[in-house]
Structure 1
Amino acid sequence: MKRFRIALAVVASAALLLAGCNGGSAGPRADFDPNTPVTLDLAFWGNDTRAGFYQAAIAKFTEKYPRITVNSTFLAFPEFWEKRQIESAGRDLPDVMQFDYAYLRQYSQNKLLLDLRPYFGKYIKTDGLDESTLKVGVVNGATTALPVGTNAWAMFVNNTLLGRSGVAAYPGGTSWDGYTAWMESVTRAGAGKVWGGVDPTERLQSFELTLRANGKNLFDDAGTPQFTKAELTEFWNRGAQVRRSGTTIPTKRLIEVAPKSGFGSGQTASEMTWDNFGAGYAGDLGAAASGLTLTAPPVTRAGARDLYLKPSMLHAVAANTEHPEASALLVDFLINSKEAGAVFGTNRGLPASATHLAGVQLDPLSQKILDYETSIKDRLGEAPPVPVVGYGSIEEKFRQLSEELGLGSITVDQAVDQFFSEMDTILER
C-alpha cells in the first residue's frame, strides 16, 4: 500500500534527497478515462469546520465523477508541513494538497510538484482566472500550484473608535506624511487610550510596498535581495521619527495585549495587514467589528503599481501522483466550481476564480474585501517572484528587530546590520 512506503525514508532530508528528481508527468495521457476507478489522497490544513467543508465539496465532486474516490486528511498548520517533509523524502506526497505560498519555491525547485500547465483547458479551466493570478504559482517557468483565494495589502480602519473621538475616517491612499498627520489627530483625541495606528515600519510588507513603488521587489527570481542597507535604514528611521512623537501605540503595550494586535484589541484606529485578516479582527472586536472598513494604504509615488494580489492558499498536485489527470480534475473543481464556492464561501479566502466566486454568498465583511480589491485595480501590479526558501524566517527576523527598535533596545544601524547578517545566513550567501 502507498502509505507504507514512507517508513524507510524518514531519516533523509527531503530538500537534499529530491533536488535532482524528475518533475513528474510530461502531460495528460491520451487514453485517460474518468470512468475508470481511481482513488486520490487529498491533504489540507485546518480544523473540523474546514474538514466539514471539504467533505461536502468532495461529495459534490463524486456526484460529477462517481468513479473517482477521494480520501481526505487534515492537520493543524505546523503538523501538516512536518508530515509533508517526511513524505517528500520517500516521494510519497498526497496526490492533491492545499498549499502555502511560503513553501512553494522549496517544493517546486526540488521537483516535488506537477507542472499543471499541460492540463489547462481539458482538465483545469482557466477562464475564471486572470493572467496575473495564473502567474502567482509559476516557479522556474512551471505552474506548480493554482491559487484558491487572493488577498492584498490593505489599511483596516475602526470607524467605531473614530466615531467616539470625532476624527474623520482615514481617506486612504494619502502620502505617508498624510497618514502620519491623520494618526496624530486620532492619538490626540484618544488621550492615552486610543492611538492612530501601529508603527507601519514594523512590517516587512510595508517596506516591500515602498520598494515596489520604485520598481523593485524584495527579492528577484534567483533569490537575490533587491534592496540595500541604505534603503532599509531610511525606512526604519521613518518609524523612529513617528515613535518619538508618540503618534503610534507603544511597543510595550502591544506586547502586553499579544496575541491580539493593537487594532484587534481596540486600541488603535488603523492597521495595515493582508485583507483576509478581517475575519480575525471581527472575532477579536465582537460587536465593534461592524464599524470596520478597508481602504488603500499610503502612496509612496503617485501612479505606482505597488500593490499586488497574493494567494491566501493554493492547490498543488504531487509529482509522484499515479493519477495526474484525475488530480487535475479535483484541483479544477476545488478552485473553479460554483458548487465548491457555495460550500466553502470565503473560508479559504476571497475566491481567486470568478466562476468559483459566482457560487459564494458573501457576508458583509467579505463584500467589503471584494469591494476593496476592486477599488485598487489601478494600483495592482504583477505579483513578485514566489517567496525565497526561508522567507518566513526572514520575515520573523524583521518583526523581532522592529520590536526591539520600538522598545529602544537597539539602534537603527544595529538593526540593519543584524537583519542583513541573518538574511545572508538564511539565503546562504
Structure 2
Amino acid sequence: MRQGGSMERRTILKAAGASLAVAGLGATATACGSGSGSGDGTVTIRYSWWGAEDRAQRINKTIALFEKKYPKIKVKTDFQQYADFWKKFNTQASGGNPPDVFQNAIGFLRKYDAKNVLLDLGEQVKAGNLSMDGFRAGLEKFGEVDGKLLGVPVGSNSMALVIDKPVYTRAGVTPEPGWTWDDFDAAMKRIRDRTGRAGDSGMYGVMYLYDLYLRQHGKAFFTEDALGFTEADLTDWWTKAERGVKEGVYADAKKVVQVKPKSAVSAELAGSEFTWDNFTVRYTSEGKSEYGLAPIPTTDGKKTGQYLGSLMLSASKRTQHPKEVAQFIDFMVHDPEVAKIMGYDRGVPATQAQFDAFQPDDEVNKAIAAYETSLVESGVLETITPHPSGADVCEAAFLRIAEEMALGKRSVEDAVKQFFTESKTALAG
C-alpha cells in the first residue's frame, strides 16, 4: 500500500505483498524504555521502517526537515526489507527495547497491543502534541482498536483491478463501476477468446480480494478474534479459481511462478490482476504496455466491500519520550513538505493537507489519485475491522497454501483444511 511514481521496481517488490509470518513474542521484558536524552535538553528517538533504499532516501529527507523544525529532537533511523524488519522488531520488543516510533500495518495492531508493546497515542492527542484532524475519508479511525489509538495513517490505498489497457481494448471489454462478478467472468472469457491471453493472473491467494468478496456477502475475512467465514465459503472460492485455470481464463500458476518477481500482467501472461491501487507503478516499470485501474466487481451492482487501507506510524509503550514521538508523527502526517518528498511512496497521503500539497504530474499517479477520489465520492467505502492477533500468520498461510494448491501440490479440499488448521492455531495464540 505504498509506492510512489519514481519508485524503483525492487522497492515495490520488497515492500509489497502478503504479510509474512513472524516469530512469536515472549512476555515483554521490564528493561528500560527506548530513546535517550542529553544534558542540553536534546533527546534522541529511534525510528524504524521497512522498505528499500529509495524509501529510505525519501524518509531521511523528511527527517532533516523535522530536525530543523525541532532542533532539540534527533532521530536515529533503521530500515530493512519487510521480513527482516519484523524479525528484528520481534527481537527488540521481546527484549523490552523496541524503537520509539515505527512503521506498522493493520495486521499487527491487536497482536502487539496484546503483548503490551504499543503506546495509546490518545493521551498525546488530548495533550495537543498530535492532531487527528484533517484526515481523508475517515482514515483517522483506521488505527483505533478497542478505544485506543495505536497507529496513525501516513497513506492510503484500496484494492483495484490493474488492467493491460490495449488487451482490454482488443477484447472489447470496458469495466465500469457497478459491474458484477458475472460481468467479470464473461470479460475473462472474452479476453481469452479474442486475445489468446488469460483474462486474469489468478485469484487463489489474494486474501484482500477475498475479504472484499466476503464483505459483499455480509461477512469478512476476519472478525475481532477469529476467521469470519466457513470452510464451505473458502471451498467455493478456491474451486472457482481452480476451474478458471483449467478453462484458461486465469493464468497457469506454474508460468506465473516462473516469471517472478515480474508480475503475470507485465509478463503478458494475463490481461489483468487484482492488487492495491498504488502498485500500478510496478507494472509501468516492468512491462511494455499501458496499464490502468478498473473498479472491483460487485455481487449486487452496488456494494464493493472496499475500504481505504494504510501504512501507519505506531509508538512504543516503553518510549521515554512520548511527547517528542507524538510531535514527530504529527509532523510526518500533516506537514505539506513531507508529502512533496514522499509522493505516493507509502500510498496516497492520508491527510487532506498533504493530499493537496502533492499533485502528481505523471499519468500513473494521476490515475491512482483519481481512483481513490472516485471511491470517496461514490460512497462505496466502508470501515475495516482491526485484524485479530495472529492475523499475520493467517495471511502468510493463505498465500502459501493457495500457491501450493495452484501448483497442483494440494487439492482444494486439502488446502482448505490445512488453512483452517493453521489459522485456528494462530488465532488461539
TM bracket, shorter-chain basis: 0.7 to 0.9
Check conservation: 1:309, 1:380, Cα contact below 8 A: no
Measured at CA, do residues 131 and 143 of structure 1 come closer, stay the same or move farther in structure 2, by a change above 3 Å? farther
What is residue 249 of structure 2 aligned with on the other side?
Answer: 247
Give the drift of 1:212: 0.5
Percent of matched pairs sharing the same residue: 29
Q: Which of these two proteins has the greater Rg computed from alpha carbons?
A: 1
Measured at CA, do residues 116 and 372 of structure 1 come closer, stay the same or move farther in structure 2, by a change above 3 Å? same
1:334 aligns with 2:337: no
CA distance in 2, matches of 1:80, 1:247: 37
CA distance in 2, matches of 1:93, 1:155: 37
1:17 aligns with 2:27: yes
What is residue 143 of structure 2 aligned with on the other side?
Answer: 137
- Secondary structure (helix, strand or coil) at the match of 1:240 reads helix
Check conservation: 1:105, 1:389, Cα contact below 8 A: yes
Gaps in structure 2 of 5+ consecutive residues:
1-22, 34-39
Deviation string, structure 1 residues 266-314 (Cα, Å, up to 9, x no partner): 22111111112212222211x42xx211121110234325111111x21
What is residue 388 of structure 2 aligned with on the other side?
Answer: 388
Please show how residues 146-225 of structure 1 align to structure 2 within 5 Å. Answer: 146-163=152-169, 165-191=170-196, 194-221=197-224, 223-225=225-227
Please show how residues 227-376 of structure 1 align to structure 2 within 5 Å. Answer: 227-285=229-287, 287-288=288-289, 291-304=290-303, 306-311=305-310, 313-362=311-360, 363-376=362-375
CA distance in 1, matches of 2:339, 2:332: 8
- Secondary structure (helix, strand or coil) at the match of 1:294 reads strand
Measured at CA, do residues 398 and 302 of structure 1 come closer, stay the same or move farther in structure 2, by a change above 3 Å? same
Give the drift of 1:409: 4.5
Give the drift of 1:156: 0.7
Q: Which has the higher contact order (CA 8 A, sep 6+)?
A: 2
Deviation string, structure 1 residues 357-394 (Cα, Å, up to 9, x no partner): 22213132122111111222345443322223333332
For residue 304 of structure 1, what is the amino acid of its counterpart?
K
CA distance in 1, matches of 2:419, 2:87: 27
- Secondary structure (helix, strand or coil) at the match of 1:195 reads coil
What is residue 69 of structure 1 aligned with on the other side?
Answer: 74
Q: What is the TM-score normalised by the length of structure 2?
A: 0.85
Give the drift of 1:252: 2.1
Deviation string, structure 1 residues 96-119 (Cα, Å, up to 9, x no partner): 212233322222221211111122
Check conservation: 2:153, 2:313, Cα contact below 8 A: yes
Measured at CA, do residues 49 and 204 of structure 1 come closer, stay the same or move farther in structure 2, by a change above 3 Å? closer
Check conservation: 1:14, 1:86, Cα contact below 8 A: no
Deviation string, structure 1 residues 335-377 (Cα, Å, up to 9, x no partner): 1110111111112221111112222131321221111112223
What is residue 52 of structure 1 aligned with on the other side?
Answer: 57
CA distance in 1, matches of 2:268, 2:177: 20
Measured at CA, do residues 407 and 70 of structure 1 come closer, stay the same or move farther in structure 2, by a change above 3 Å? closer
Deviation string, structure 1 residues 107-136 (Cα, Å, up to 9, x no partner): 222121111112226211222214731221
- Secondary structure (helix, strand or coil) at the match of 2:187 reads helix
Q: What is the TM-score normalised by the length of structure 1?
A: 0.85
Give the drift of 1:245: 2.3
CA distance in 1, matches of 2:231, 2:261: 31
1:126 aligns with 2:140: no
Measured at CA, do residues 381 and 426 of structure 1 come closer, stay the same or move farther in structure 2, by a change above 3 Å? same
For residue 350 of structure 2, what is the amino acid of its counterpart?
A
**Count of matched residue pairs:** 397
Deviation string, structure 1 residues 31-57 (Cα, Å, up to 9, x no partner): xxxx95322222222233222222221
1:115 aligns with 2:130: no
Measured at CA, do residues 342 and 178 of structure 1 come closer, stay the same or move farther in structure 2, by a change above 3 Å? same
Please show how residues 397-416 of structure 1 align to structure 2 within 5 Å. Answer: 397-416=397-416
Check conservation: 1:124, 1:332, Cα contact below 8 A: yes
What is residue 424 of structure 1 aligned with on the other side?
Answer: 424
The answer to which of 386-395 and 106-115 deviates more is 386-395
